[in-house]
Amino acid sequence: MHISEGVLSGPVLASGAVLALAGTAIGLKKIDYDHIVHVSILASAFFVASLIHVNIGPSSVHLILNGIVGLLLGFAAIPAILTALLLQSVLFQYGGLTALGVNVVVMAFPAVLVHYLFRPLLGKSPTLTFVGGFLAGMVSIMLSSLLLGLALWFTDKNFFETSLTIIIAHIPVMIIEGIVTGFCVSFLLKVYPEIIPVKK
Amino acid sequence: MKIKRILMLALIFALIPANHAFAHKVIVFAWVEQGYIHTESSFGSKSKAKDCPIIVVDENGRVIHKGRTDSKGNYSFKIPEKVESDLIVNLDAGIGHKAQWRIPKQELIKEHTTEDLKVAMKEKNALEKGPSAFQIIGGIAIIFLLAFGATVLKKRKKS
């Protein structure tokens, strides 16, 4: 899911950087500084998740966990994911530094969207909480795959084929992340409900 | 109730695939040996970049050679004749994953000893090595430090 150096053109990289900066600015304003430890824990989980990878065909996909980060943090997921991606790029050489903005857009923007789509399901009932988590985990990867396809479209010129390849490659990750996110939110709601303030 | 919670936690960890490896940086490594250029492409030591296009260009971007990696991520070819510049080996591992390796011009004409090969292999292994525990823990520590710094700044602004 991490775009390497030298893949995208200048305008695409610049657009990604501008969008990522704007998102980060909003995210920093929306962070609940009294619970910043939650942001740190989730950013750390995202940072480490990419080390767990699954080989699919000629390529290799890895866990991303942007769904659970977005579901629990909302807009604050953008600076959290930006920090984790920056560290992954510098320390692990995952993704190019110049592509950081685009990588943030690809992974963090869907995370914010799933927060607004599926957060209302959490806490309604155990089943709905699991379903909300599952859908957040799955849909965030699907949307990230589409955004990745869109970013690569400007160089590959074949949006549907590229996107389809990416989505197919990430189907196992969608299922795994859906299940992991579903179980995690169900578990957290039971043992540490403060992390998911449920609107009654 | 407690057992149920522990079981749930165990299930979460059980769902995480067992073959986790420290991989996902895209690497192409090339070296010269007995008139051939050998390339090895991977996402780290345990995951090879299989059946991926390799395009070799000169410094001016002129395509010198094209090929594909095999099931082990390897591809070898004879040193092209009349090459006047460094060669750049480009790997396209699909969906935004690209890497390149530059072979200096003098490497193409030099006679390589066993010692040279050993040095090259050492370099390759260092490249393929995954992140160390120090890097992982260090990264997490940086995240928490940044969060702490942001909180302090925010509190100072308020006061």
pLDDT at A199: 54
pLDDT at B94: 75
pLDDT > 70: percent of chain A: 92
Structure confidence at residue A59 as a pLDDT band (50, 70, 90): low
Task: Report if residue A169 sits inside a domain.
Answer: yes
pLDDT at B107: 81
Q: How many domains does chain A contain in total?
A: 1
Mean confidence (pLDDT) of chain B: 79
> Per residue in B3-54, pLDDT tens?
555 445 444 444 443 333 234 678 888 888 888 899 988 887 667 888 889 9
Print the domain residue range for A132.
10-195
pLDDT at B108: 79
Mean confidence (pLDDT) of chain A: 87
Best mutation target, A48, A51, A81, to test chain B (most B CBs within 10 A): A51
Task: Report if residue A85 sits inside a domain.
Answer: yes
Q: Which of residues 129-158 of A touch B (CB under 8 A)?
A: 148, 151-152
Task: Report if residue A19 sits inside a domain.
Answer: yes
* Complete DSSP assignment for chain A: ----TTSS-HHHHHHHHHHHHHHHHHHHHH--GGGHHHHHHHHHHHHHHTTSEEEETTEEEE---HHHHHHHHGGGHHHHHHHHHHHIIIII--S-STTHHHHHHHHHHHHHHHHHHHGGGTTT-HHHHHHHHHHHHHHHHHHHHHHHHHHHHHHHS-HHHHHHHHHHHHHHHHHHHHHHHHHHHHHHHHH-GGGS----
> Per residue in A87-120, pLDDT tens?
999 988 888 888 899 999 999 999 999 999 999 9
Domain B27-134 adopts which CATH fold?
A: Immunoglobulin-like (2.60.40)
CATH number at residue A131: 1.10.1760.20
pLDDT at B22: 31
Q: Which of residues 34-93 of A touch B (CB under 8 A)?
A: 36-37, 39-40, 43-44, 47-48, 50-55, 57-60, 62-63, 83-84, 87-88, 91-93
Structure confidence at residue A156 as a pLDDT band (50, 70, 90): low
Task: Report if residue A3 sits inside a domain.
Answer: no
Which chain A residues are Cβ-neighbours of B25 within 8 angstroms? 92-94
The domains of chain B are located at 27-134
